[in-house]
Amino acid sequence: MKLNPVTEKFILHWGEMGSQWGVNRTMSQIHALLFIIGKPLNAEEITETLGVARSNVSNSIKELQHWGLVQKVSILGDRRDHFTTSTDVWELARIIVVERQKRELEPTVQFLQELMNSPEFEHENNEVKSRIRDTQEFVSTLTTWSSEMLKLPTSILKKVLKLGASIKKVLR
């Protein structure tokens, strides 16, 4: 499949964003391709379009499925597996936030709580204990807040996010 220049730039940028966020570049580019094209593609089409190794495509698709970002679909008359993703960027953002919470924030909250519950914690100096408590409170609050935000309908979530800095007027 030949990509138009804007589509190609989008895919390349999505790959760069992914690598900035600690995600494999090819995995991000595959996701971007499926998102921007908006139709199911098989692994060979993905390999050919992106010019990457077939094994890299297979591994990336498995990881994208593990994240819940890509689904396998069947196409009538074609025995090959095809892959698709949501074309709703808000839905994708929700999936990514949920996964990052599970993989990063929740284990950090648990680790910090275990650290504070350990017998060694009481022997630590007060500044260190205070910073660990503050960090645990911050990560826990962030996790709780983002969980609550994810429960909002997209229309409300958009409004909340668009409020931005003006929210401080409401809170004063």
Tens digit of pLDDT for each residue in 17-27? 999 988 999 99
As a whole number, the mean pLDDT across the chain is 94
- Residues 28-50 have a mean pLDDT of 97
Tell me: pLDDT of 136 over 80: yes
> Residue 164 — very low, low, confident or very high, per pLDDT cuts 50/70/90?
confident
State pTM to two decimals: 0.84
> Residue 47 — very low, low, confident or very high, per pLDDT cuts 50/70/90?
very high
- Residues 155-170 have a mean pLDDT of 82
- Residues 102-128 have a mean pLDDT of 95
pLDDT at 16: 95
- Residues 57-79 have a mean pLDDT of 95
pLDDT at 171: 74
Query: Burial letters for 61-81: b for 16+ Cβ neighbours within 10 Å, e otherwise?
Result: bebbeebebbeeeeeeeeeee
Contacts of residue 147, Cβ cutoff 8 Å, sequence gap at least 6? 101
- Residues 24-35 have a mean pLDDT of 96
pLDDT at 44: 96
pLDDT at 18: 92
First to last CA, the chain: 55
Share of the chain above pLDDT 70, in %: 99
Tell me: pLDDT of 170 over 80: no
Tokens of 129: 């204990």
Sign of CA dihedral 40, 42, 30, 46: negative
Q: Is 124 left (phi over 0), alpha (psi -120 to 50) or beta?
A: beta
Tokens of 60: 């990336």
